[in-house]
């Protein structure tokens, strides 16, 4: 990591020490409401798609071993089908879930913890930007590197994802 110029250091130091902490308008009740809505929606999608596929007889065209499993272990097959739909739908909302978790942290974390970051943007802001720009896996990896590798010491800096 390159050393920041004196001007960058002054800008980042002023930002970190003098800024007003942003507290997102969110809370645990709102987060639980979204999680509940997600679970209900994914179950509705799974139920509807399972009913339609069963009615059309699509499961009869499964490979022989899978069709035998479907016939002999129907309850387990239905459970695994619902689990598969749940995971597939989770892939579409994972970015929002991670950003929501970071916003919960921003809302509830004490000021002395939130002010430990020495960079502009702060580590939580960086994590949101990285997840939005690179997706969940790479964004969280970049946030991890920023939080546990770069954000140590006494040097202020500017570091965008």
- What is the pTM assigned to this prediction? 0.65
Sign of the torsion angle spanned by Cα atoms 84, 89, 92, 94: negative
pLDDT at 141: 93
- pLDDT tens-digit profile, the chain (161 residues): 566 677 877 777 777 777 777 778 777 787 788 888 888 888 888 888 888 888 888 877 878 887 788 788 888 888 888 888 888 877 777 888 888 888 888 888 888 887 777 778 888 899 999 999 998 889 999 999 888 877 766 667 677 78
Helices (H), 19-27: none
Q: The dihedral of CA 30, 36, 38, 40: what is its sign?
A: negative
């Amino acid at each position: 990591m390159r050393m920041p110029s004196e001007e960058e250091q002054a800008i980042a130091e002023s930002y970190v020490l003098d800024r007003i902490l942003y507290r997102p308008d969110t809370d645990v009740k709102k987060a639980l409401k979204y999680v509940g809505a997600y679970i209900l929606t994914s179950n509705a999608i799974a139920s509807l798609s399972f009913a339609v596929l069963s009615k059309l007889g699509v499961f009869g065209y499964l490979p022989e071993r899978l069709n035998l499993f479907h016939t002999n272990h129907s309850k387990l097959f239905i459970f695994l089908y619902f689990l598969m739909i749940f995971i597939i739908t989770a892939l579409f909302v994972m970015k929002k879930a991670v950003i929501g978790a970071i916003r919960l942290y921003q809302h509830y974390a004490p000021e002395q913890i939130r002010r430990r970051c020495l960079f502009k943007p702060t580590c939580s802001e960086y994590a949101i930007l990285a997840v939005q720009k690179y997706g969940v896996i790479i964004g969280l990896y970049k946030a991890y590197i920023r939080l546990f590798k770069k954000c140590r010491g006494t040097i202020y800096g500017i570091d965008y994802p």
